[in-house]
Structure 1
Amino acid sequence: MAKSSGTTSNKLLYVLIVVVLALLAAAIVNFFFVTQRAAHDEEFLGYAAEAAVISQSVSKNAQLAVDGNREAIQRLYTDRERFDRNLDRMRRGNPDTLLPAPPRQVRQELSIVEDRWSDTGRGAAQLLLDQGDMIRRSHQSLEIIDENIGPLQNSIEALGDRLLEINAGASQVFHQGRMAQLAPRIHQWSVSLVTGSGDPGVAQRRIGDDNAFFGRLVRGFQDGDDSLGVEAVADSEAQSILTDISVYYGRINDEVSRIEGQRAELLSVHRANSALAEISDSLLAGIRSVESTYRRSIDDRMFSATYGYIFGGLALLILAVLIYVYVLTSDTRKAAALQQEQNERNQEAILRLLDELGSLADGDLTVQVSVTEDITGAIADSINYAVDALRELVVTINDTAVRVDATAQQTRATASHLAEASEHQSSEITSASRQIQEMAESIEQVSENAERSTRVAQQSVEIAHKGGDAVRRTIDGMNNIRENIQETSKRIKRLGESSQEIGDIVELINDIAEQTNILALNAAIQASAAGEAGRGFAVVADEVQRLAERSGNATRQIEALVKTIQTDTNEAVISMEHSTSGVVSGARLAENAGEALDEIEKVSNHIATLIQSISGAARQQAQAASDVSRTMQVIQEITSQTHEGTTATADNIGKLAALATELRKSVSGFKLPGKQEEQTMVMSSEDVDQGESEALEDGEMASLEDMPEDSDDLSSLESGDIEDSVDEQEGGLDEFVDEIDWPEDDEAGDSEQKRQRDTERVD
Structure 2
Amino acid sequence: MSTAPDARKTNKLGSVSTSFWLGLLVLSMIVFGANTGVATWQGSRLAGAGTGAADLQVLSQQLANYGREAVSGDAKAFAAFKETKGRIDSTVSELDGRYGQEGSVASSMAQLKATWVPLSKNADQVIASEPAVLGLAGNAERFSGNVPQLQAQLNEVVRAMTVSGAPASQIYNTLQQVVVAGTMARRVTEMRAGGANAAASGDALARDSVVFTQMLEGLRAGNDELGIAAVRNPAALSALEQSQAQWTTMKKDVDAILASSRNLFAAQSSAAALTAGSGKMLDDSKKLFDAFSAFGSVRDTRLFPNFWLGVVSGLVALLAIIGFVWSSVRVRTREQDVRYQAQVEFNSRNQQAIMRLLDEISSLGEGDLTVKASVTEDMTGAIADAINYAVDELRHLVTTINDTSAKVAVSTQETQATA
Instruction: Describe the superposition over 1:216-254 as per-residue Cα deviations: whole angstroms up to 9, x where unpaired.
Output: 222222222222222222223222321331232122101
1:224–1:200 distance in 2 versus 1, CA, 3 Å = same
Offset from partner CA, 1:527-569 (integer Å, 9 cap, x none): xxxxxxxxxxxxxxxxxxxxxxxxxxxxxxxxxxxxxxxxxxx
Deviation at 1:109, TM superposition (A): 4.5
Checking the alignment, whether the CA contact within 8 Å between 1:149 and 1:248 is kept in structure 2 is no
Distance 1:334 1:217, change over 3 A: closer
Q: 1:268 to 1:211 in 2, by over 3 A?
A: same
Give, in angstroms, the shift of residue 51 of structure 1. 1.8
Hey, what's the Cα distance between the residues in 1 that align with 2:283 and 2:154? 53
Q: Is residue 220–residue 232 contact of structure 1 (8 Å, CA) maintained in 2?
A: yes
Instruction: For residue 39 of structure 1, report the CA deviation from its aligned partner.
Output: 4.1
CA distance in 2: counterparts of 1:305 and 1:209, whole angstroms: 70
* Aligned: 1:333 with 2:338: no
Q: Which residue of 2 aligns with 1:162?
A: 160
SS of 2:101's equivalent? Answer: coil
Extract unaligned runs of 5+ from structure 1: 342-763
Mapped contact 1:145–1:251 kept (Cα < 8 A): no
CA contact (8 A) 1:189 1:206 kept: yes
1:55 matches 2:60: yes
1:165–1:147: structure 2 CA closer, same or farther, 3 Å change rule?
A: same
| Partner residue, 2:305 | 303
Seen in structure 2, the aligned counterparts of structure 1 residues 325 and 263 have a Cα distance that, compared at 3 Å, is closer
Looking at structure 2, the residues matched to 334 and 116 of structure 1 have their Cα atoms a distance apart, in angstroms, of 74
Give yes or no for contact 1:27–1:308 (8 Å, CA) kept in 2.
yes
Give the match for residue 240 of structure 1.
Answer: 238
Change (3 A) 1:115 1:16: closer
Residue 82 (structure 1) aligned with residue 87 (structure 2): yes
Q: CA deviation at 1:148?
A: 0.8
2:123 aligned with 1:118: no
Query: Which residue is 1:128 aligned to?
Result: 126
Q: CA deviation at 1:296?
A: 5.7
Alpha-carbon spacing, 1:24–1:135, altered in 2? closer, same or farther (3 Å): same
Root mean square deviation of aligned Cα: 3.1
Q: What TM-score do the two structures reach when normalised by structure 1?
A: 0.40
What residue in structure 1 maps to residue 77 of structure 2? 72
Q: Distance in 1 between matches of 2:243 and 2:196?
A: 27
Post-superposition shift, 1:327?
4.2
1:207 corresponds in structure 2 to 205
- The amino acid of 1:71's aligned partner reads K
Deviation at 1:185, TM superposition (A): 1.5
Question: Aligned equivalents of 2:278 and 2:306: distance in 1?
Answer: 36
Structure-1 separation of matches of 2:115 and 2:312 = 44
- In structure 1, the partner of 2:249 is 251
Bigger Rg over Cα: 1
Residue in structure 1 matched with residue 215 of structure 2 by the alignment: 217
Identity of aligned residues (%): 16
Q: Among 176, 179, 184, which residue is 1:178 paired with?
A: 176
Q: Relative CO higher for 1 or 2, CA cutoff 8 Å, sep ≥ 6?
A: 2
Shift of 1:102: 3.1
- Measure, in 1, the Cα distance between the counterparts of 2:123 and 2:43: 34
- Aligned partners of 1:113 and 1:287 also within 8 Å: yes
**Among 261, 270, 273, which residue is 2:271 paired with?**
273
Counterpart residue identity of residue 117, structure 1 = W
Deviations 1:656-708 (A, max 9, x none): xxxxxxxxxxxxxxxxxxxxxxxxxxxxxxxxxxxxxxxxxxxxxxxxxxxxx
Matched, 1:319 2:321: yes
Deviation at 1:30, TM superposition (A): 3.1
Change (3 A) 1:320 1:114: closer
- Structure 1 distance, partners of 2:249, 2:79, is 31
Q: Pick from 33, 36, 48: which aligns with 2:38? A: 33
CA distance in structure 2 between the aligned counterparts of 1:339 and 1:280, rounded to whole angstroms: 85
Distance 1:213 1:271 in 2: 29
Instruction: Specify the code of the residue in structure 2 equivalent to 1:252.
Output: M
Partner of 2:144: 146
2:102 corresponds to: 102
- Following superposition, the deviation at residue 159 of structure 1 comes to 1.9
Report the residue type matching 2:77 in the other structure: A
Aligned with 1:217: secondary structure? Answer: helix
TM-score, structure 2 as length reference: 0.70
Report the secondary structure of 2:124's partner residue.
Answer: helix
CA contact (8 A) 2:14 2:330 kept: no
2:141 is the alignment partner of 1:137: no
- How far apart are 1:41 and its partner, in Å? 4.6
Residues in 2 aligned to 1:110 and 1:72: alpha-carbon distance in whole angstroms: 29
Residue-by-residue CA offset, 1:255-279 (whole Å, 9 max, x unaligned):
0011112222222122112211211
CA distance in 2, matches of 1:289, 1:304: 20
- Cα separation, 2, equivalents of 1:262 and 1:329: 94
- The superposition leaves residues 299-349 of structure 1 with CA deviations (integer Å, 9 ceiling, x where unpaired) of 2133345544544444444434444444444542354468899xxxxxxxx
The counterpart of 1:3, out of the listed 8, 12, 20, is 8
Which of the numbers 255, 259, 262 marks the counterpart of 1:261? Answer: 259
For the 8 Å contact 2:155–2:178, the answer to whether it is kept is: yes
1:338–1:110 CA distance, 2 compared to 1 (3 A): closer
Question: Where do 1:603-642 residues align within 5 Å?
Answer: none
2:50 aligned partner, one-letter code: L
Question: Are residues 1:231 and 2:229 paired?
Answer: yes
The residue matched to 1:276 in structure 2 has which SS?
helix
Q: State the SS of the aligned residue for 1:46.
A: helix
State whether residues 70 and 77 of structure 2, in contact with CA within 8 Å, keep that contact through their aligned partners in structure 1: yes
How many aligned residue pairs are there? Answer: 336
Contact 2:67/2:274, CA 8 A, preserved across alignment: yes
Corresponding position: 1:44 with 2:49: yes
Letter in 1 for 2:138: Q
Partner in structure 1 of residue 25 of structure 2: 20
Name the aligned partner's letter for residue 145 of structure 1.
F
Q: Pairwise mapping of residues 527-606 of structure 1 onto structure 2 (< 5 A)?
A: none
Q: Deviations over 1:342-370 (max 9, x none)?
A: xxxxxxxxxxxxxxxxxxxxxxxxxxxxx
Structure 1 counterpart of 2:133, one-letter code: I
Alignment partner, residue 435 of structure 1: none
Q: Do the aligned partners of residues 338 and 269 (structure 1) sit closer, same or farther apart at CA in structure 2, a change above 3 Å counting? A: closer
Sort the Cα spacing of 1:198 and 1:246 in 2 relative to 1 into closer, same or farther, 3 A: farther
Unaligned 5+ segments in structure 2 are 1-5, 344-419
1:484-495 aligned at under 5 Å gives the runs: none
In structure 1, distance between residues paired with 2:63 and 2:310: 44
Instruction: Find the aligned partners of 2:259 and 2:336 in 1 and give their Cα distance.
Output: 111
Partner amino acid for 2:59?
A: I
